[in-house]
Amino acid sequence: MLNPVWLNTFKTLVDMGHFTKTAEKLFMTQPGVSQHVNKLEKACGYSLIRREKKSFEVTEQGAIVYQYAKQVVKNERGLMELLAFDDPFSGDCTLACSGALALMLYAQLLDLQAQHSSLVLKLKAAPNYQILDEIQSGIIDLGIITDSPPPNLFDAVELGQEQLCLVLPAYVQADIYDKNLLTELGLISHPDAEHYLSLYLSKCQVSEFSHLNVKEIPVTGYVNQISQILQPVAKGLGFTVLPKSAVDTFQEPQKLTIFRPKNLVIDTLYMVKKKNRELPARFESVKAILQKQIGTVKL
């Protein structure tokens, strides 16, 4: 690799056209300038200038090296500008959360991008484990999950809470606690279904459900599109568990029954990023939306 100091001395010499002026500009001695040029010529294997008494002419090889030296300076200047430049409304922001939260947040994120065309917002709906894996691998920058992650790998703060709902077909009476209700109906599964159902059964304080093992409840359907999960439930094909925000957006609520447990089931949401990673300024705009829609963000 060519010494950048020698390249800069040579570039300055060509720009100034004089050894003495170059030495003054670089706060060097004239012999020091000559020494840098000689070392650069030796490293390149070609004469870069033709010396004529007190003046010189740049050789063909010297002209090529001069252009290269100019590009090196330009690249370094560009790098410094990139390092110092952190526009709050420019660049990519990748965010992942549950499908229910994505449904709630997407319109607001689109509004933000519409206001700032250089800001590119990328929202992915994914289960907890996938969000954590992709934060660690650098695929996404920021995630919202429902389990506090390992503190040695992630920075996390509590973002807010959401209510989980056990959603049944309309013909089921919500106040009848039948221990066989869920196994007879079967689960309409989705990417977060097992996690939501496990949490619901552990917190709802319904004794009739205490014997249930999530793994043993039959699955009668699977949908990975949040807007479609409640359609088979509305047709009487099974039950599911979803955040209340997703249930509230369903267009035919009269075809559903929301189970009424003895104790509301509240899920805590955590904002997560990779351990010790400092996010760019553009994420402040995203956090502001999350603060408004979900809760206070201090990550």
Which uninterrupted H or E stretch holds 116? none
Contact 241, 168 (CB under 8 A): no
User: What is the pLDDT of the chain when averaged over all its residues?
Assistant: 89
- For residues 107-139, b (16+ Cβ closer than 10 Å) or e, as one string? eebeebbeeeeebebebbbbbbebbbebbeeee
- Given this structure, which CATH class describes domain 4-84? mainly alpha
Q: What is the pTM of this model?
A: 0.66
The domain locations on the chain are 4-84, 91-157+272-293, 162-266
Return the structure tokens found at 233: 């439930």
pLDDT at 177: 65
Q: Which CATH architecture has domain 91-157+272-293?
A: 3-Layer(aba) Sandwich (3.40)
CATH T-level topology, domain 162-266: D-Maltodextrin-Binding Protein; domain 2 (3.40.190)
Q: Which of 222, 201, 196 is nearest to 213 (CA)?
A: 201
Same fold, 4-84 and 162-266: no
Side-chain half-sphere exposure of 229, counting CA atoms within 13 A: 26
pLDDT at 54: 74
Q: Residue 267 CB: number of other CB atoms within 10 A?
A: 19
Return the structure tokens found at 292: 């408004």
Q: Please provide residue 274's backbone torsions phi and psi, each rounded to the nearest 5 degrees.
A: -65, 145
- Model confidence over 201-216: pLDDT tens digits? 988 888 888 888 899 8
d(CA 279, CA 281): 7
- pLDDT grade for 154, boundaries at 50, 70 and 90: very high
Q: Judge residue 260's burial from the number of C-beta atoms within 10 Å of its C-beta, 0-12 exposed, 13-18 middle, 19 or more buried.
A: middle
Contact 222, 189 (CB under 8 A): yes
Q: Please provide residue 56's backbone torsions phi and psi, each rounded to the nearest 5 degrees.
A: -155, 160
pLDDT at 261: 85
d(CA 108, CA 216): 39
- Model confidence over 97-123: pLDDT tens digits? 988 888 889 999 999 999 998 899 999
Which of 166-175, 207-216, 235-244 is predicted most confidently? Answer: 235-244
Q: Residue 43 CB: number of other CB atoms within 10 A?
A: 14
99: helix, strand or coil: helix
Q: pLDDT > 90: what percent of the chain? A: 59
